[in-house]
Amino acid sequence: MKIHILASLLIGSLLFSCSAKQVENVEAEPTQTFKNKGHELVYNMVQKVGDYETLRSKKNVSYTYTYQTPDGKKDVVQEKYIFEGELSYGAYVQHERTLPQLEGVIEQGYDGSQFWLRHNGEFLEDEKLLKGVAFNRPTNFYWFSMMQKLLDPGLVYEHLGKDTIGNKYYDIVKVSFESNGDKPTDIYQLYINSSTNLVDQFLFTVADFGKMETPFLMQLEYEEIDGMLMPTKRQYKASTWGASVSNDPWIYVRWTDIQFNANITPTLFSKTNSLTSQLESKKNRNIMQPETDKKRIYREGIEAVANSGITKSAKQVGDVAPNFTLTNALGESVELNDYLKKGKVVLTWYRGGWCPYCNLTLHELQNELENFKANGANLIALTPEMPDKSMTTAEKNELEFEILSDVGNVVGKEYGVVFKLTDAVATIYNDAFDMNAYNGDQTNELPLAATYIINEEGKIIYSFLDADYRNRAEPIELTKILKSK
């Protein structure tokens, strides 16, 4: 009996020892601590919608912001942000509230250090107007990321209790900002749904405009976008601290066409006339034009390319770049590998000399060519155009880099960047300028406006792939990448 007891004790001791060692080898996860119950409720809400690290991992966002007041006046803004550094850009393609005295496209930007305003391509330096930009840019960014930023440092949380609205139960949390001096700060009073952990509505003040006594009530509806719950539908009006709903009409805010991790570069946010800013201005001027069948057909054409998955199936960073030999505008054979023996290659496609976005891009690539060469790279552009057409394009744009005719998109298909136009778009192109004659075939196929950087070993080290032909790789950013690789 003693032996059995001793054996049991020994086995138990060994098991405990092994178990203890296993526990020692497991790193304890950091415990989340809370200032109070209000802080804990906000934390749990943010985990439900997606925290700021999740948002930051998506790098950037593009969406349409629509703001409509009870008198029917509306602003429609193409918003773009880079989360790292909180860079912000907005193009007002309809502005019945914001600077209605200015006709045409209004663009605002913040590059991390400077606010700027551009009207129909020209920068404005009026201090009063720039103060409006200094309010709009960070405000719009904050509203988009508000739920995530409710966990920022320097916030004060207070659980005010519970309330029932209709048949829903809520925890009420007051969130305010630590104040420096006597300057008032904004206050948010959140109504967190006890069942869903979501903020269904909240009261807020606007300290910048002295709106502290009478709060506004904001009501929210959510939509799942790329794994995050975004409050894409909002309406607000003046209220009381008891969240009473008056008979006043609502102000409506909508976020639509949200796209995370788009092809957005820091150049867009800078006060420069970069290719990106020129293309964006051109695109926004087109958006402002009345809706037509042609605009709808082009838009549907872009959607068809996006839905095809081509940007995912094309050659990507890390892939080996297929070698090729093509003819340039002078009838000379040009091989990719011959150029790779001299250094890196920036390889880009353009649709044709008939495309205004392509001509603008070629012009800016020419302007940046010296910097490419200074960083050990040559530039090669491919087009499905026949050689005589590509020569015309090269001469018109005074290009000093290789323009190679990829008739039939043979090389483009090896890189996976070729798609078939919708019948409606192909009809417009052929009726307008006889695209098939330009390209010498009847396929109605075009390449993406793709760009790769290929290193001396033939590996792709950078790729720009976008379903929208109006978006292009920024030459200035290409130089930065060449410098860093």
Q: Where do the domains of the chain lie, and which CATH numbers do they carry?
A: 39-260 (2.50.20), 297-484 (3.40.30.10)
pLDDT, tens digit (0-9, with 9 covering 90-100), for 175-224: 998 876 666 678 999 999 999 999 999 999 987 655 567 899 999 999 99
- Which pLDDT score, from 0 to 100, does residue 330 have? 83
- Which pLDDT score, from 0 to 100, does residue 185 have? 79
- Which pLDDT score, from 0 to 100, does residue 393 have? 81
Q: Report the range of poorest mean pLDDT among 29-38, 242-251, 333-342.
A: 29-38
Confidence label for 6 from pLDDT (cuts 50, 70 and 90): very low
pTM: 0.86
Q: What angle do CA 65, 421, 391 make, to 5 degrees?
A: 105
Q: What is the mean pLDDT of residues 241-254?
A: 93
- Which pLDDT score, from 0 to 100, does residue 3 have? 36
**CA–CA separation, 160 vs 448, rounded Å?**
55
Q: What is the mean pLDDT of residues 114-130?
A: 96
> Quick one: which of 349, 346, 325, 328 has its CA closest to 337?
325
Residue 453 and residue 485 in contact, taking contact as beta carbons nearer than 8 Å: yes
Residue 393 and residue 362 in contact, taking contact as beta carbons nearer than 8 Å: yes
Q: Is the Cα dihedral 126, 128, 132, 137 positive or negative?
A: positive
Q: Please report, rounded to a whole number, the percentage of residues in the chain having pLDDT higher than 90.
A: 83
**CA–CA separation, 33 vs 218, rounded Å?**
29
pLDDT higher than threshold 60 for residue 27:
no
- Which pLDDT score, from 0 to 100, does residue 329 have? 80
- Which pLDDT score, from 0 to 100, does residue 30 have? 64
Q: At 130, phi and psi to the nearest 5?
A: -70, -30
Three-state DSSP string of the chain: CHHHHHHHHHHHHHHHHHHHHHHHHCCCCCCCCCCCHHHHHHHHHHHHHCCHHHHHHCCEEEEEEEEECCCCCEEEEEEEEECCCCEEEEEEEEECCCCCCCCCCEEEEECCCCEEEEECCEEECCHHHHHHHHHHHHHHHHHHHHHHHCCCCCEEEEEEEEEEECCEEEEEEEEEECCCCCCCCCEEEEEEECCCCCEEEEEEEEHHHCEEEEEEEEEEEEEEECCEEEEEEEEEEECCCCCCCCCCCCEEEEEEEEEECCCCCHHHHCCCCCHHHHHHHHHHHHHHCCCCHHHHHHHHHHHHHHHHCHHHHCCCCCCECCCCEEEECCCCEEEHHHHHCCCEEEEEECCCCCCHHHHHHHHHHHHHHHHHHHCCEEEEEEECCCHHHHHHHHHHCCCCCEEEECHHHHHHHHCCCEEECCHHHHHHHHHHHCHHHHHCCCCCEEECCCEEEECCCCEEEEEECCCCCCCCCCHHHHHHHHHHC
- Which pLDDT score, from 0 to 100, does residue 18 have? 38
- Which pLDDT score, from 0 to 100, does residue 388 have? 84
pLDDT higher than threshold 90 for residue 398:
no
Three-state DSSP string of 436-476: HHHHCCCCCEEECCCEEEECCCCEEEEEECCCCCCCCCCHH
- Which pLDDT score, from 0 to 100, does residue 353 have? 93
- Which pLDDT score, from 0 to 100, does residue 182 have? 61
pLDDT, tens digit (0-9, with 9 covering 90-100), for 366-384: 999 999 999 999 999 999 9
Rg, the chain, Cα only: 29
Q: Report the range of poorest mean pLDDT among 6-10, 99-103, 251-255, 428-432.
A: 6-10
Residue 231 and residue 220 in contact, taking contact as beta carbons nearer than 8 Å: yes
* Mean per-residue pLDDT over the chain, rounded: 91
Q: Using CB atoms within 10 Å of the CB of residue 478, give its burial: 0 to 12 exposed, 13 to 18 middle, 19+ buried.
A: buried
**CA–CA separation, 394 vs 402, rounded Å?**
9
Residue 234 and residue 38 in contact, taking contact as beta carbons nearer than 8 Å: no
Q: What is the mean pLDDT of residues 280-284?
A: 92
Sorted by sequence, the CB contacts under 8 Å of residue 272 that are 6+ apart come out as 476
Q: What is the mean pLDDT of residues 460-484?
A: 97
Which is higher by pLDDT, 16 or 176? 176
**Structure-block tokens of residue 386:** 């026949």
Confidence label for 394 from pLDDT (cuts 50, 70 and 90): confident
pLDDT, tens digit (0-9, with 9 covering 90-100), for 431-446: 999 999 999 999 999 9
**Structure-block tokens of residue 313:** 């199936």
Q: What is the mean pLDDT of residues 271-289?
A: 92
- Which pLDDT score, from 0 to 100, does residue 222 have? 98
